[in-house]
């Protein structure tokens, strides 16, 4: 048959038989988009130049390039299936608004009567006489920095930065949690409770960075083979939840800590007490209630990507796109974060204005207030590039290219999880004292246990020596008794012999 074009889109096809296209040697255009295919036999499609498979979400397998030697234009369900048809030099090239290019390149299914068919014909006529070695394949959706083919993290600079952030975040936040909750030096006050929980939440950001680093190492050089399964897997959605939950809950806890410091300062001024504690308006039950609200807000904000299962990148994060739901979610996050930083800034400005009126306070309270101020300053500075990237995506402004956006997402956004605990450990003398006390207490406990074990062994050895000595004494006594008996027997024998001898001598005399 001389059939050149075949359109089978929107037919709810579940499967295609192995040799369905063998009788169509002249087939050059095949449209199977918006069906439910899970596999596609390529037998008899050697002359195919145009192939549409967009909308077949169950089709996750890669198509071998050698089975489609003449293909020039492809529309596939997933980004990673195009990696076999696009040269490494062209993967992810270009700048500008990467989210617009990816959304534009993602097919949604077209009607067969649309002008795209005429474009296909023109494209085919334009390249019909092109020599085979110079042919280039136009495949969509196109891979890029956020949908990589070879390496998830890309460059070695980003890879090393992600590993460093994961290690520092996990170690430093663990030290802060230990110093706050396990130190015998001081009790857990409301501001220390907030700082300890902030460190615990920041540690989850380190878990996310470590998770991405582990996936990059596991799929090193061949990420496209696992990209489809990774993007649609539950571990990917869970890692995205951890990242978003850590960033948002950490921001809410920092806001609660800032408000607690502001209320404490106001109460200290009104109470006119040196310690400034008894007049605090934010009681421990109120602090616990605010902590519960922060965690509930964090879970509520972080659940949509897990429920929908749609992510814009292979880093399992829901970034702005052309869809209304994604755009509304991104706008809500940006506005909510900006509101939190505005509230914290106003609260600390008010606290600074009251600082001259407040009575002298304890060193611990001053150190905690200074630490929260450092956290606010550093997190606000690190939020600026993230906010600029978000606003540029919302306003469709080409502020940053895809590589810069990837660096901000992987290296700048998780930085508060590293800087927050380091500020507490390095610039707060109370933290160093707590860690030293915890170390001393731990070492003392270990030494006491060892001494107790050594004392038990020494007691056992002493008891063993006493038993041996008692047995030796018994043996000696037995030997003495036995020797005395023999001497008595020998003495008695000698006496009887002497008596017998004297009797015999007397008999001889008579």
* Structural Rg of the chain based on CA atoms: 41
Residue whose structure tokens are 């001259």: 356
Give the list of residues 6+ apart from residue 435 with CB closer than 8 angstroms, or none.
175, 178, 179, 183, 425
Q: Which letter does DSSP use for residue 387 in this model?
A: H
φ, ψ at 6 (rounded to 5°): -140, 120
DSSP string, 251-305: HHHHHHHHHHHHHHHHHHHHHT-SS--TT-SS-HHHHHHHHHHHHHHHHHHHHHH
Per the CB < 8 A criterion, the answer to whether 184 and 155 are in contact is no
| 161 phi and psi angles, rounded to 5 deg | -65, -40
CA 280 to chain centre: 37
pLDDT in tens, 201-212: 999 999 999 999
H or E stretch at 7: strand 5-7
Task: Specify the DSSP class assigned to residue 51.
Answer: E
**Stretches in the chain below the pLDDT threshold 70:** 1, 87-135, 268-282, 309-312, 318-324, 356-361, 398-399, 453-510
Mark out the alpha helices in 309-362 (DSSP H runs).
324-354
CATH 1.20.1070.10 residue ranges of the chain are 156-442
1-144 CATH: 3.80.10.10
The two three-digit tokens of residue 365, written as one number:
């309270």
What's the residue count for the chain?
A: 510
Rounded to whole angstroms, how far apart are CA atoms 368 and 193?
11
For the record, the structure tokens of 145 come out as 């920095």
Neighbours of 497 (CB within 10 A): 10
Q: Where in the chain is the domain with CATH 3.80.10.10?
A: 1-144
* 492-493-496-497 Cα dihedral, nearest 10 degrees: -150
Rounded Cα gap, residues 30 and 7, in angstroms: 6
Q: How far apart are CA 134 and CA 163, in angstroms?
A: 41
CATH number of 156-442: 1.20.1070.10
pLDDT score of 197: 96
Going 160 to 166 to 169 to 174, the CA torsion angle's sign is negative
Strands 29-31 and 73-75: unpaired
* Helix, strand, coil distribution of the chain in percent, nearest 5: 65, 5, 35
Interior angle at CA 33, CA 32 and CA 35, nearest 5: 85
Strands 138-140 and 73-75: parallel
- Residues near 367 by beta carbon (within 8 Å), at least 6 away in sequence: 428, 429, 430
Q: Is 394 within 8 Å of 338 (Cβ atoms)?
A: no
SS3 of residue 248 by DSSP: helix
pLDDT in tens, 270-292: 665 444 444 445 677 888 999 99
Residue 309, class by beta-carbon neighbours within 10 Å (0-12 exposed, 13-18 middle, 19+ buried)?
A: middle
Give the pair of three-digit tokens for residue 363.
Answer: 């060193």
> Distance of alpha carbon 359 from its chain centroid, rounded?
44
Task: Return d(Cα 121, Cα 137) in angstroms, integer.
Answer: 16
The span from the CA of 78 to the CA of 251, in Å, is 35
Instruction: Give 184-187's long-range contacts (Cβ < 8 A, gap of 24+).
Output: 184/437, 184/438, 184/441, 185/433, 185/434, 185/437, 185/438, 186/364, 186/430, 186/434
Tokens of residue 92, six digits: 């992810």
Dist CA 480 CA 490 (whole Å): 15
Query: Which residues, in sequence order, are CB contacts of 484 under 8 Å at separation 6+?
Result: none
Query: What is the end-to-end Cα distance of the chain in Å, rounded?
Result: 163
């Amino acid at each position: 048959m001389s059939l050149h074009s075949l359109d089978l889109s929107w037919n709810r096809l579940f499967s295609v038989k192995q040799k369905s296209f063998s009788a169509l040697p002249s087939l050059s255009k095949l449209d199977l988009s918006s069906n439910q295919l899970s596999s596609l036999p390529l037998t008899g499609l050697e002359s195919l130049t145009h192939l549409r498979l967009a909308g077949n979400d169950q089709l996750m397998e890669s198509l071998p390039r050698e089975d489609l030697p003449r293909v020039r234009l492809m529309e596939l369900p997933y980004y990673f299936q195009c990696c076999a048809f696009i040269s490494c030099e062209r993967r992810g090239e270009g700048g500008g608004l990467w989210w617009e290019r990816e959304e534009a390149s993602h097919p949604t299914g077209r009607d067969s009567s649309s002008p795209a068919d005429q474009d296909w014909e023109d494209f085919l006529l334009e390249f019909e006489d092109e020599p085979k070695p110079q042919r280039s394949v136009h495949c969509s959706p196109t891979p890029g920095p956020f949908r990589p083919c070879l390496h998830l993290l890309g460059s070695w600079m980003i890879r090393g930065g992600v590993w460093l952030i994961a290690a520092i975040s996990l170690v430093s936040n663990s030290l802060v949690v230990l110093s706050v909750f396990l130190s015998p030096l001081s009790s857990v006050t409301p501001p220390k409770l907030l700082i300890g929980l902030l460190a615990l939440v920041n540690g989850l950001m380190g878990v996310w960075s470590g998770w991405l680093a582990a996936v990059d190492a596991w799929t090193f050089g061949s990420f496209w083979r696992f990209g489809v399964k990774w993007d649609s897997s539950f571990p990917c959605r869970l890692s995205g939840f951890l990242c978003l939950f850590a960033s948002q809950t950490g921001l809410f806890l920092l806001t609660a800590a800032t408000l607690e410091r502001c209320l404490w300062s106001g109460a200290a001024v009104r109470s006119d007490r040196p310690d400034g504690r008894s007049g605090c308006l934010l009681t421990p039950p109120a602090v616990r209630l605010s902590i519960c609200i922060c965690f509930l807000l964090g879970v509520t904000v972080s659940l949509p990507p897990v429920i929908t299962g749609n992510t814009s990148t292979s880093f399992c994060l829901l970034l702005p796109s052309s869809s209304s739901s994604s755009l509304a979610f991104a706008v809500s996050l940006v506005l909510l974060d900006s509101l939190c930083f505005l509230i914290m800034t106003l609260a600390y400005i008010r606290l600074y204005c009251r600082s001259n009126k407040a009575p002298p306070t304890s060193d611990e309270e001053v150190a905690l207030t200074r630490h929260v101020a450092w956290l606010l300053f550093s997190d606000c500075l690190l939020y600026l590039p993230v906010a600029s990237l978000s606003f540029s995506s919302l306003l469709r402004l080409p502020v940053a290219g895809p590589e810069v956006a990837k660096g901000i997402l992987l290296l700048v956004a998780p930085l508060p999880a590293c800087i927050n605990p380091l500020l507490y450990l390095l610039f707060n003398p109370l933290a160093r004292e707590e860690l030293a006390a915890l170390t001393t207490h731990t070492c003392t406990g270990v030494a006491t246990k060892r001494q107790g074990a050594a004392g038990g062994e020494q007691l056992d050895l002493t008891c063993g020596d006493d038993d041996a000595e008692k047995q030796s004494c018994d043996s000696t006594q037995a030997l003495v008794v036995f020797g005395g008996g023999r001497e008595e027997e020998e003495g008695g024998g000698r006496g009887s012999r002497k008596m017998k001898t004297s009797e015999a001598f007397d008999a001889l005399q008579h």
